[in-house]
């Protein structure tokens, strides 16, 4: 949970995309990101604004949680980053990720999930990424689908509203789930089914429209 620069994630994402395009040069490319992955997807799209056929964001990180990012806590994090960059802060509460107990249990027992506290230096990188996202949103013109649960305690839904208001895309859709938590694709079965259906339908519509435009 330490990275020298948040752009490392964007670099790796672009590298993967280039590998896929080399193997499948005729296929359109869609970005999909959840939570911090949403932040990575947004910054990836900003790096190459005309390259992608669309972007799907599930509970994206666009603004910092107001409970976490108080002015005092931000100042404290900056000071701590100078003297104790590897200090661990509070761990994530798994019970705010989803209302689906089976998924919570799976999350808790998954050895590939990092269960420690977030490092101070990483919090600073996240804050830098959020600031860059907010400066860059107006660059985006690609089709965007955003799905977010209104009571999300990990990535504030205000970020998705800000994104909708700021991006230059003409084709943008926000679907809000009134009672769902953060990981919509790991939520109660009715929510998860709805989310996956929304995403599939939206991507198929974009592909169909592109196919029609190609033949015109």
Query: Which of 67, 72, 74, 62 is CA-nearest to residue 161?
Result: 62
3-state secondary structure (DSSP) of residue 35 = coil
| Strands of the sheet with 172-177, listed across from one edge | 30-34, 54-58, 144-149, 172-177
Annotated catalytic sites, by residue?
35, 152, 182
Instruction: Kindly report the backbone phi and psi dihedral angles of residue 148, in degrees, each rounded to the nearest multiple of 5, phi listed first.
Output: -150, 140
For the chain, helix, strand, coil in percent to 5 are: 50, 10, 35
Q: Single out the residue of 153, 151, 176 nearest to residue 163, CA to CA.
A: 176
């Amino acid at each position: 949970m330490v990275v020298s620069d948040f752009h490392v994630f964007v670099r790796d994402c672009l590298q993967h995309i280039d590998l896929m395009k080399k193997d499948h040069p005729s296929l359109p490319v869609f970005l999909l990101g959840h939570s911090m992955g949403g932040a990575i997807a947004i910054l990836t799209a900003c790096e190459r604004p005309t390259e992608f056929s669309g972007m799907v964001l599930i509970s994206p990180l666009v603004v910092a949680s107001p409970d976490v990012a108080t002015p005092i806590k931000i100042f404290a994090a900056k000071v701590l980053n100078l003297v104790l960059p590897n200090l661990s802060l509070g761990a994530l509460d798994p019970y705010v990720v989803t209302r689906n107990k089976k998924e919570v249990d799976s999350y808790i027992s998954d050895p590939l999930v990092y269960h420690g506290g977030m490092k101070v230096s990483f919090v600073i990188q996240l804050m830098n990424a959020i600031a860059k996202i907010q400066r860059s949103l107006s660059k985006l013109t690609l089709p965007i689908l955003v799905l977010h649960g209104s009571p999300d305690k990990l990535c504030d839904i205000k970020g998705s509203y800000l994104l909708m208001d700021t991006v230059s895309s003409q084709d943008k859709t926000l679907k809000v789930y009134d009672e769902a938590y953060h990981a919509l694709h790991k939520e109660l079965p009715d929510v998860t089914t709805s989310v996956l259906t929304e995403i599939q339908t939206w991507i198929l519509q974009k592909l169909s429209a592109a196919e029609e435009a190609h033949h015109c």
